[in-house]
Amino acid sequence: MSTFKALKKGEIKVDRFIIPYRIYGNGKLNLVCVNGVQQSMAMWHSFVERFCSDCKITLFDFPGQGKASIVTGPANASINEQVEILKSVVNLSCSSAAILCSASWGGVPAMLFASKYPQEVRCLVLAGMGTRPNKRMIETIQKGCNIEDSERQEMADVLINSFGENLPQKMKERILKQFCSMSKENLRAFCEHGMLIVSAKGLEDIINLSDVKVETILLNGEKDTIIDMEDVRGMAKKMPFCRVVVIKGVGHFLHLENKDVLDVYSGILSEINKKNR
């Protein structure tokens, strides 16, 4: 990222939250990147390096991520609050319909946003997305959340060993550092969110999949241990304009595991650009 400076950066206040954002590039395609749980804008650095010469890319952090802050109220942002945060970011940065690129849980507010505001979404590109936690995810969340606060390294190791084995060593070290430096409030919010995922019956408790009427591409790694492909394909069948792309050689974290995955995104963006002409 050091070779690319943000054209615009700052913070916006959305209800009870302070949301930091960065905007890179000035291309015709508007990309808004939506982080997964306990991720931050940093996860999209290689994405910006690859595409900022052709696209306008907006990054931001949800409450509990990066430098976002909660001014008042509960330590968690509800799914509806996340959708309104996303709406504020899109309205701030995009002069035309946005392509929403999400990672993992970030796909949930992205899909709900698209169902509520379809005129503001050109396409959804959702990575590592499923409708329900599989057995391994449930076991990992339960084990991680039962570890004492003082054993941050053990908690990080549980998560990495379960679904981050394919990450580069530097990325694993970054996750460990993140857990060790996380505030008690954010750690508690992370665990509460994890247990919410475990207790939820599935994505369709939150959103009617048939209401997502924009073009949608589901990207999933063939080595993803916490998303079942049968679930992904079943999800795609319930969405009017959805297709699945399985990427070989990577797991849940896709482009964070191998930068070659960005070639897949490049092909998708090229297709969208041609349709816009």
pLDDT in tens, 51-84: 999 999 999 999 988 889 999 998 889 999 999 9
Asked if residue 162 is part of any domain, the answer here is no
* Statement: residue 268 has pLDDT above 80: yes
Mean pLDDT of the chain: 89
Asked if residue 150 is part of any domain, the answer here is no
Asked if residue 165 is part of any domain, the answer here is no
Asked if residue 160 is part of any domain, the answer here is no
* Statement: residue 235 has pLDDT above 50: yes
Query: What values do phi and psi take at 70, rounded to 5?
Result: -110, 120
* Domain with 77 in it: 8-133+203-276
Residues in the chain: 277
Asked if residue 264 is part of any domain, the answer here is yes
Measuring CA to CA, which residue among 196, 198, 251 is closest to residue 220? 251
DSSP label of 223: T
pLDDT band of residue 198 (cuts 50, 70, 90) is low
Q: Does this model's pTM top 0.85?
A: yes
Residue 50 is part of a domain; what is its CATH number? 3.40.50.1820
- Report the Cα 261 to chain-centroid distance in Å: 16
**pLDDT of 118:** 96
Asked if residue 183 is part of any domain, the answer here is no
* Statement: residue 90 has pLDDT above 80: yes
What proportion of the chain, given as a percentage, has pLDDT over 70?
Answer: 95
Asked if residue 98 is part of any domain, the answer here is yes
The 10s digit of each residue's pLDDT in 142-195 is 887 787 777 888 888 888 888 788 888 888 888 788 778 777 777 777 777 676
**pLDDT of 61:** 96
Asked if residue 36 is part of any domain, the answer here is yes
**pLDDT of 39:** 84
**pLDDT of 191:** 76
Number of independent structural domains in the chain = 1
